[in-house]
Amino acid sequence: SSSDSGQHVKLVHLKETRPASPLIYLSETDADLSHEFSSDIHQNQKIRTIINKSSPHAPLDLRESNLTDRDLLMVAEVAMAHKQCKELWLQSNTITSIGAATIAHAFTKKNSVQVLILHDNPLGDEGVRCLAKALQSKRSMLTVLGLE
């Protein structure tokens, strides 16, 4: 609202609200990923071995693997981009909104994931927003998303 207080002074009253769908800038995520990617991608050798042994286009089961957000850099690059796995089972790990942003970023690039299960991870609202935004990409082939 606004009001004229006289003497050429106009008061404008604003109320800050939260939009139903806040903007998410994946380009900022791109910069973060490229910085971390080169030095930390293969930090978890156990996960690296599991992914390398998996067949192309095969489901990848990494539930209860103590995955961290940094491990998802490897999952996104090797499992999603190179191996083109169709199913990713990532439930019961410690994936936060940062890891969700990494996965979201991968959905904007070439990948074949049709099933993504993220049950029992502390993704938070921001992590879910990142995923939702990325899944609007025409490149996304996802048909099942588990967020229980």
DSSP state of 1: -
pLDDT tens profile 26-67:
444 444 444 444 444 445 888 888 998 999 999 999 999 999
Q: Is the dihedral of CA 92, 112, 50, 75 positive or negative?
A: negative
Q: What is the pTM of this model?
A: 0.69
Q: Residue 4: beta bridge partners?
A: 10
How are strands ordered across the β-sheet holding 87-89?
A: 60-61, 87-89, 115-117, 144-146
Q: What Å distances lie between residue 83 and 52, 114, 122, 144, CA to CA?
A: 9, 14, 26, 19
Tens of pLDDT, residue by residue over 10-28, are 888 888 776 665 554 444 4
